[in-house]
């Protein structure tokens, strides 16, 4: 019985992953508003009722897509660093992630930016998710700068929380400028310049 249960759970995970992959593909091609649940289910080889069973609603599927994008980014970070990254390692990862985004994930980045703007108001469907995601990013960045100061690789007279807010604001703003004008804004170069400048400013 345990083996059968495990196989059922595995198939469920695989079906859910197929639905998320189908949603990413169709959202990138047609946008969220232009993509219906039926089309996503068909692309994934499932029924609309099965999709709703897994995600509850289209909004639940959209959130799953955003979580998958974050999971992939964190996976790329964990492949690079087994332990907590140093300041230099983290800055290098941000630059490489910008390069990856520019080369392969414009659509997901556009989806993320658009949905952020659409959920600014408290009470909107994904407002809490985006708010908590932003808080988590700032918390991780604050910990990064705090560790660097404690290790002697960064100045101790700068507030780690303020640095975290500044860095998060840069990341959001740089992606928005690039999405609006990719011919004029080199996302990788902008990231490289910012983090080189920040590293210089933080140097003890």
pLDDT single digits (tens) 90-111: 999 999 999 999 998 888 888 8
Q: Write down the residue that tokens 């995601």 correspond to.
A: 133
For the domain made up of 67-202, give the CATH fold: Tetracycline Repressor; domain 2 (1.10.357)
Inter-residue contact 113 to 175 (CB < 8 Å): yes
Indicate whether 171 pLDDT > 80: yes
Inter-residue contact 154 to 167 (CB < 8 Å): no
Handedness of CA 172, 175, 181, 184 (dihedral sign): positive
The two structure tokens encoding residue 17:
């992953």
Indicate whether 165 pLDDT > 70: yes
- For residue 3, what pLDDT is reported? 59
- For residue 144, what pLDDT is reported? 96
Torsion angle in degrees (nearest 10) through CA of 65, 70, 74, 79: 40
Q: How confident is the model at residue 79 (pLDDT cuts 50, 70, 90)?
A: low
Inter-residue contact 43 to 25 (CB < 8 Å): yes
For the domain made up of 1-56, give the CATH fold: Arc Repressor Mutant, subunit A (1.10.10)
Cβ contacts of 55 within 8 Å, gap of 6 or more: 16, 19, 61, 64
Q: How far is CA 88 from the centre of its chain?
A: 21
Report pTM.
0.82
pLDDT single digits (tens) 123-150: 998 999 999 999 999 999 999 999 999 9
Handedness of CA 121, 125, 130, 133 (dihedral sign): positive
Indicate whether 181 pLDDT > 70: yes
Domain segments of the chain as ranges: 1-56, 67-202
């Amino acid at each position: 019985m345990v083996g059968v249960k495990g196989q059922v759970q595995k198939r469920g995970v695989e079906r859910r992953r197929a639905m998320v992959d189908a949603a990413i593909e169709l959202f990138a091609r047609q946008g969220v508003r232009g993509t219906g649940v039926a089309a996503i289910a068909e692309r994934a080889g499932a029924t609309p009722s099965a999709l709703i069973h897994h995600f509850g609603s289209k909004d639940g599927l959209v959130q799953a897509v955003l979580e998958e994008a974050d999971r992939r980014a964190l996976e790329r970070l964990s492949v690079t660093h087994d332990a907590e990254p140093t300041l230099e390692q983290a800055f290098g990862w941000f630059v490489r992630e910008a390069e990856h985004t520019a080369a392969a994930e414009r659509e997901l980045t556009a989806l993320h930016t658009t949905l952020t703007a659409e959920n600014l108001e408290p009470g909107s469907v994904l407002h809490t998710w985006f708010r908590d995601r932003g808080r988590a990013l700032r918390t991780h960045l604050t910990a990064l700068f705090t560790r660097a100061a404690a290790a002697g690789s960064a100045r101790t007279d700068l507030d780690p929380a303020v640095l975290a807010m500044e860095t998060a604001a840069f990341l959001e703003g740089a992606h928005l400028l690039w999405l609006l004008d990719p011919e004029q804004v080199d996302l990788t170069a902008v990231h490289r310049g910012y983090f080189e400048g920040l590293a210089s400013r933080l140097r003890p």
